[in-house]
Chains A and B, each alone.
Chain A
Amino acid sequence: MSSLLSWRDLGIGCVISEPGNSVQYKTGDWRAHRPVIDQTKCIKCLLCWVYCPEPAITRHNDDRVEINYDYCKGCGICANECPVKAIKMVSEGV
Chain B
Amino acid sequence: MVTQIKTVKELPREELFAPGHRLCAGCGVPVLVRMVLKAIPNAVIVNATGCLEVATTIFPYTSWRVPWVHNAFENAAATAAGIEAAFRILEKKRGIKRPKVVAFGGDGGTFDIGIQALSGALERGHDMLYICYDNEAYMNTGIQRSGATPRGAATTTSPAGKVIPGKLERKKNLIEIAVAHGIKYAATLNPAYPVDMYNKIVKAASVEGPTLLHYFCPCPTGWRSDVDKSIEIARLAVLTRVWPLYENDNGVYRITVPVKTPRPVEEYLKMQGRFRHLLAPENKWLLDQLKQDIEENWNRLLKLVELSQKSS
A residues with a Cβ closer than 8 A to B are 5, 14, 16, 18-27, 30, 45-47, 49-56, 59, 63, 68, 70-71, 73-77, 79-81, 89
Q: Which of A18, A20, A23, A75 contacts B25 (CB 8 A)?
A: A75
Closest residue of chain A to B70 (Cβ to Cβ) is A14
Which residues on A sit within 8 Å (CB–CB) of B159?
none
Is the pair B228, A79 in contact by a Cβ cutoff of 8 Å? yes
Query: In whole angstroms, what is the CA distance A9 to B147 when docked?
Result: 43
Closest residue of chain A to B33 (Cβ to Cβ) is A53
What's the least CB distance linking B8 to chain A, in Å?
Answer: 5
What's the least CB distance linking B232 to chain A, in Å?
Answer: 6
Tally of A-B Cβ pairs under 8 angstroms: 111
User: Given known contacts A53-B30, A63-B9, is B228 in contact with A27 (CB within 8 Å)?
Assistant: no
- Chain B's interface size range is 35 or more
Which residues on A sit within 8 Å (CB–CB) of B65?
19-20
Query: In whole angstroms, what is the CA distance A18 to B194 when docked?
Result: 29
Query: In whole angstroms, what is the CA distance A56 to B56 when docked?
Result: 15
B residues with a Cβ closer than 8 A to A are 8-9, 11, 13, 15-23, 25-31, 34, 56-57, 59-66, 191, 194, 220, 227-232
Smallest CB-CB A-B distances: 9 pairs: A76-B228, A22-B20, A20-B18, A71-B19, A73-B25, A75-B26, A75-B25, A54-B19, A25-B20
User: Given known contacts A22-B19, A59-B13, A76-B227, is B63 in contact with A53 (CB within 8 Å)?
Assistant: no
Q: Which of B8, B17, B26 contacts A50 (CB 8 A)?
A: B8
